[in-house]
Structure 1
Amino acid sequence: MTFTSTSLQASFVVDLNVFKDDRGWFARTYCKDEFAQIGHDAEWVQMNHSFTSKKGTIRGMHFQLPPFEEIKMVRCISGAVYDVIIDLRKDSATFLQYFGTELSAGNRRMLYIPKGFAHGFQTLSDDAELIYHHSQFYKPGVESGIRYDDPVIGIQWPLQAVNVSERDLNHSLIDNNFKGI
């Protein structure tokens, strides 16, 4: 795997080293030793799989509150998405900045998301599927979110937003009272 730092400290785009032959291809998607080189020492305790049927759909921007912050790693295994993270760490030099990248079945790219980040995506194709690795169990009541169209963040989504859930539409906008997590 090749780890490339994003513009947000401690987050990485992870490109797989693919080995091909006449049968197809093979790639490793996780190696404890290789992830230790970027400072990852947490255990993956939960994996989730999402399917989104309609192009342009936005899911996010989700996070868990302290002390249940989680590290995530996301990979698109069918279709394509524009995957976005927001740095919510109050003491970070990149506080309230975002990073976005395309994840697709074709590019086999993953995004490593450290604690203290919100995460979401927009589907660039119909029938997009993502696999998520989590370092914390989902805890009802400690999840939160930032509105996908918050003007303070200013995410430039590639497509017009469609099919945004009621929950995601009801996330608060950032105001002067937001101090980060």
Structure 2
Amino acid sequence: MRYTETKLKGCFILEPTVFEDERGYFFESFNETKLTSILGYKPHFVQDNQSKSQFGVVRGLHLQGGEHAQAKLVRVVEGSVLDVAVDVRPGSPTFGQHISVELSADNKKQLFVPRGFLHGFSVLSEHAVFFYKCDNNYHKESEDGINPLDPQLAIDWQIPHERMILSQKDQKAQSFEGLRLKLI
């Protein structure tokens, strides 16, 4: 497995070793020992989630706060997405900065998103099946997030604005500045 730490400390792009032959392919999608070696600590995943979305869907930007914060290991099983992580760790030198990476069934890349990050994705293919592991259970009262189209972050979701599909919740979500004021 190859890995690259992004400009956001603790956020890693993981690329598995893929074995292909005339029968198809094989790769390890998760290996606790290898991930522990990369992260420097042992993650304890307690929940797996999967979603299917059509082209143009933008999900996010979401997080869970406090004791219910979640780290995530995300990947795409079918299709292609633009995956985005935004550092909102108070005191972080990269606070408010984001990275984006294309995750697809073809490239088999994964992204490890540590606790203290907003997370979201846009669907670039006709449809996509998105899968992720969480190191903390879902806790509705700890949900938070921002509008993914917030101009302060200026994220290029690689979807024409008129073709974007956002939930009512995400459309009405607070601004990045609103979240920043809650965190400081």
> Shift of residue 175 of structure 1?
2.3
Runs of 4+ in 1 over 2 A off after TM superposition: 174-177
Q: SS state of the match for residue 141, structure 1? A: helix
- Is 1:79 aligned to 2:69, yes or no? no
Partner of residue 166, structure 2: 164
> Shift of residue 126 of structure 1?
1.6
The whole-number CA distance in structure 1 between the counterparts of 2:121 and 2:85 is: 9
Where does structure 2 lack aligned partners over 5 or more consecutive residues?
none
Q: How does 1:124-135 map to 2 (within 5 A)?
A: 124-135=124-135
Q: How does 1:91-170 map to 2 (within 5 A)?
A: 91-161=91-161, 162-170=164-172
**Residues 32 and 43 in structure 2, CA contact (< 8 A), matched pair in contact too:** no
**Residues 90 and 179 in structure 1, CA contact (< 8 A), matched pair in contact too:** no
Read off the aligned partner of 1:169 and give its amino acid letter: Q
Q: SS state of the match for residue 34, structure 1? A: helix
Partner of residue 47, structure 2: 46
Where does structure 1 lack aligned partners over 5 or more consecutive residues?
none
The whole-number CA distance in structure 2 between the counterparts of 1:28 and 1:80 is: 19
The whole-number CA distance in structure 1 between the counterparts of 2:132 and 2:119 is: 11
Q: How does 1:52-67 map to 2 (within 5 A)?
A: 52-53=53-54, 55-67=55-67
TM-score with structure 2 setting the length: 0.93
TM-score with structure 1 setting the length: 0.95
Aligned length: 180
Q: CA RMSD in A?
A: 1.4
1:48-102 superposed Cα distances (whole Å, 9 cap, x missing partner): 010002x111000010011111110110110100000000001111000000010
**Residues 36 and 43 in structure 2, CA contact (< 8 A), matched pair in contact too:** no
**Residues 72 and 135 in structure 1, CA contact (< 8 A), matched pair in contact too:** yes
1:109-162 superposed Cα distances (whole Å, 9 cap, x missing partner): 100000000100010012200111000000111111111011221112211241
> Shift of residue 41 of structure 1?
1.1
Partner of residue 19, structure 2: 19
> Shift of residue 179 of structure 1?
5.2
> Shift of residue 40 of structure 1?
3.7
Q: SS state of the match for residue 144, structure 2? A: strand
- Is 1:2 aligned to 2:2, yes or no? yes
Greater mean deviation of Cα atoms: 29-38 or 57-66: 29-38
Read off the aligned partner of 1:66 and give its amino acid letter: G
Read off the aligned partner of 1:109 and give its amino acid letter: K
Read off the aligned partner of 1:174 and give its amino acid letter: F
The whole-number CA distance in structure 2 between the counterparts of 1:114 and 1:82 is: 18
